[in-house]
Amino acid sequence: MNLIGYWIRSLADDEYPPPQELVTDYDPATRDQIAAYLDAGSTFAVYRGLSWCRFFCDHPMGNCELTDGEWVWPQDLSHYVRNHDVRLPDEFVDHVFSMRPPMAETTNDWSTVTPDESFWISWCAKHRSNSLVARIQSARENADTEIQKFRAEAIREREQVEGVTDTICQWSGCDNRALAGRVLCASCLLKSESSSLLIEPYMNLRPIMDA
C-alpha cells in the first residue's frame, strides 16, 4: 500500500516537500472528484494530534489516515486538493477515475500493515518545482546558527547557577566536567532533556512560507 500526501513538518525536515511546490491547475470537475474520493476513504489509523495546513489557513484538519485498500493518505489531503489546488500523482488520479468508489467503513484490522512512503518521496522529488528550496535552506542555516547560540547560552547559565565539579561527565565519549550534584555536564544534560521542545520555535516554517 502506497502512502501519499505528507508535507514538510519543520525546517529540520528535508524528506517531504512543501505543498506550495506542487500546485497545479486541475479543472473543477477533476479536482472535485479527486477530493470527494479522498473524503470517502476508510479509516486506516487514528492519531492523537491534529494536523495543520501547510498553507496556514484556518481550515480544521484531521488526525486520521484513510485508505481505499491500495493507497493510504492523511484525512486532510482532500483539503489540499480542493482548497489549494495541490497536485497528486498521476498513478493515484488514474486509480481514482478507473476504480469503484473507495470501500465503505469496514472492520479491517490495518494495525499490522505499514504503508510504503518511498513512492511518494520519489514522486515528489521528481515533480516539485523547488521554488522554495533556497529559501528553506537559508532559513535552516540561520536557525542552526541561532540554535547554537541558544545552546551555548543555556550551558553557560546552567554552569553558573549549579556550579561545575572536577568529576568527568558520564555521557559516553564526553570529557566535560559534570555539574554539581549530577553525573552529567550541562551540555549533555541539555541533550537528555526535552531540548527539542526548546528549539522548536527556531524550526517554524510559517515565516518563510508566508513570505
Reported as a single tens digit per residue, the pLDDT across 105-116 is 555 778 888 999
Instruction: Tell me how far apart the alpha carbons of residues 132 and 149 are, in angstroms, rounded to a whole number.
Output: 26
Instruction: Tell me how far apart the alpha carbons of residues 63 and 90 are, in angstroms, rounded to a whole number.
Output: 26
**Which grid coordinates are listed for 86?**
495541490
Percent of the chain with pLDDT over 70: 90
- Taking CA atoms, 29 is separated from 7, 41, 94, 98, 167, in Å, by 25, 19, 14, 15, 70
What pLDDT, on the 0 to 100 scale, is given for residue 179? Answer: 95
pTM: 0.78
> What are the domain boundaries of the chain?
2-127, 133-210
Between the two ends of the chain, the Cα-to-Cα distance in Å is 36
Which H or E run contains 66?
strand 64-67
Residue 174: partners with Cβ closer than 8 Å, 6 or more residues away: 168, 185, 187, 188
Reported as a single tens digit per residue, the pLDDT across 145-165 is 888 888 889 899 999 999 999
According to DSSP, residue 101 is labeled P
Instruction: Tell me how far apart the alpha carbons of residues 41 and 34 are, in angstroms, rounded to a whole number.
Output: 11
